[in-house]
Structure 1
Amino acid sequence: MELAFTGRVIEWRGPAPFYFVPVPDEESADIREVAAMATYGWGVIPVEARIGETSFTTSLFPKDGCYLLPLKNAVRKPRSITAGDDVSVRMTVLL
């Protein structure tokens, strides 16, 4: 399953700051349809994502009926992505 969307980067401050792009409602609904086949536990969904020319693998986290795409520092820092920025994401759910 391939998806493309634009989202605003959010920051979650725990013991260390983490950055995420919320997956929009429509795309989250599509992911929920294949979630049982894709998850490896705890409701997380493995994906390969691309922002600009940077590809990375990670897992979506379920949150309030949608999903959050974590942004690794290796993706964020070279592109100077921070909270409040809008980013375009291309993403493949790994089944």
Structure 2
Amino acid sequence: MRFEFTAPLWEWPSRASWYFVTVPDEASADIREVPRPPRGFGSARVRVTVGGSRWTTSIFPDSNVGCYVLPIKKSVRDAEGLGDEGDVRVALELLDV
């Protein structure tokens, strides 16, 4: 299962230097419906591509907004020239399905 979207980069207010992109409502709803092995914190393993960077990580449900959030690590932000804000084009592939 693969999703492509553009969403704003944002910093987690409780933890400086942790940046995320929120997976859109429709994609988050689709991901929630897919049967998967249970993982900590309700996370789902994904393969992500942003620009020329590709990595495997997990997305996590955010109960405040009802969507999953995708962490964007510093090495990716640096490699792709992402600032503290702005839109990020994401290709996300759900693993373990």
TM-score normalised by length of structure 2: 0.87
Does structure 2 conserve the Cα–Cα contact (< 8 Å) formed by 1:38 and 1:94?
Answer: no
In structure 2, the residue matched to 1:74 is: 75
* CA distance in structure 2 between the partners assigned to 1:17 and 1:58 by the alignment: 17
* CA distance in structure 1 between the partners assigned to 2:58 and 2:73 by the alignment: 11
Any gaps of 5 or more consecutive residues in structure 2? none
Q: Letter of the aligned partner of 1:67 in structure 2?
A: Y
The CA deviation string for residues 29-69 of structure 1, in whole angstroms up to 9 with x for no partner, is 111111x4154222011111000111011110101320000
CA gap 1:16/1:43 in 2 versus in 1, 3 angstroms? same
Give the secondary structure class of the aligned counterpart of 1:9. strand
Q: What is the Cα-based RMSD across aligned positions, in Å?
A: 1.5
In structure 2, the residue matched to 1:7 is: 7
Give the secondary structure class of the aligned counterpart of 1:75. helix
Does structure 2 conserve the Cα–Cα contact (< 8 Å) formed by 1:48 and 1:57?
Answer: yes
Runs ≥4 residues deviating over 6 A: none
TM-score normalised by length of structure 1: 0.89
Q: Which has the higher strand share?
A: 1
Give the secondary structure class of the aligned counterpart of 2:42. coil
Query: Identity rate of aligned residues, in percent?
Result: 44
Any gaps of 5 or more consecutive residues in structure 1? none
